[in-house]
A and B are shown apart, each in its own frame.
Chain A
Amino acid sequence: MSIITIATTKGGAGKTTLARLILGRSALSGLRAAAIDADFNHTLTDWVSTVARTPITVRHELDETKIVPLVAELHDAHDVVVIDTAGAASQATIFAIGCADLVLVPIAPSAADIVEAIKTVNLIRSASLMMRREVVARVVLTAVQPGTNIAEHVEKEVAKAGLPVLRTRLHRLVAFQEMSFTGIAPTSGHAGVQCSNFLDDLEALGGLPEATKLAS
């Protein structure tokens, strides 16, 4: 059973998109997938409740005192639990990080995204020290537009900041945006390939059980 927390103190970086990809593809491959939506906007909860085409358990929980007990509750009955956090520093985010096998920190191409990602990674490092356990964290570059100056600049800035980056970059693709309406995580085309590579990366880091490969 794996717990993946998606966190960054910047809103609009792609947290919920990553959550949809992981949950949608995990459920499609037969894994028992659950989500904890700790975001005020409950976007993930709405997506699972209204458009998602695969069986996913979702719970909306803002109360930081209930995050850890909820993870423990979902832990045994599911193969993967994804925690989507709010786009701001909060107590709930800290406890969600503490529960995780893997923390993903999305960065969309903007200076603010990089600044907030640095803060979030520092927060994860502090949590690791306090728990005397390494929490594996990776920055995920989202909405990448390859070949552009901004994409190159973001890569350089992330490297300069010493942030641990996931190998797969997720491009700015219509299929990822369509997911919010179709409820289907992409399995074909460029988006499908990127999604598969993304899931492979998570699996290699111990963030996902192997079965997610089946849907590739």
Chain B
Amino acid sequence: MSKKDLASVTADLSALAQTMPTQRPAVPGARASQVVAPAEEVIQFSLSLRKGLRKQLARLADDADMTMRAFVLDALKAKGLDVRPDDLTDLRKERR
């Protein structure tokens, strides 16, 4: 048995300590890159258009295997609207 040596405590016990939970407080800002931005409020928006256009939109979206909502947003993205990937998520697949 050796004598107590504070300098070697950490090295000697690190392996054992690794099996235990940490108590270390989270440092503010240290995980900023992992922090998900708060979800922006989603609002409903109604649009009036001719019945024929509505049918064309439905057909084009269906051909592209997209929802009409995603199809419209994708088109608007091409015009420079700040559309994010999660805006194009097809919620119908999640509901199935």
Contacts and interface: CB of A to CB of B under 8 A. Distances in A.
A64 B13 CA distance: 11
Contacts of A126: 16
Contacts of A131: 2, 8-9, 12-13
Contacts, number: 75
Contact of A133 (B1, B16, B23, B25): B1
Contacts of B18: 91
A62 B6 contact: no
Interface residues of A, number: 31
Contacts of A132: 1-2, 12
A93 B13 CA distance: 11
Contacts of A72: 6-7
B1 A91 contact: no
B30 interface: no
Interface in B1-58: 1-4, 6-10, 12-13, 15-18, 20-25
Nearest to B8: A131
Nearest to A62: B23
B24 to A, nearest CB: 5
Interface stretch (A94-102, A139-147, A208-216): A94-102
A88 interface: yes
Interface string A101-137: 1000000000000000000000100110011111000
19 contacts: A38-B23, A62-B25, A63-B23, A63-B24, A89-B20, A90-B20, A91-B18, A91-B22, A92-B23, A95-B13, A98-B13, A130-B12, A130-B13, A130-B16, A131-B2, A131-B8, A131-B12, A133-B2, A133-B4
Given A63-B25, A64-B23, A72-B6, 20 more contacts: A40-B23, A62-B23, A62-B25, A64-B24, A71-B6, A86-B23, A88-B21, A90-B20, A90-B22, A91-B18, A98-B12, A98-B13, A99-B4, A101-B4, A127-B13, A130-B15, A131-B2, A131-B13, A133-B1, A134-B1
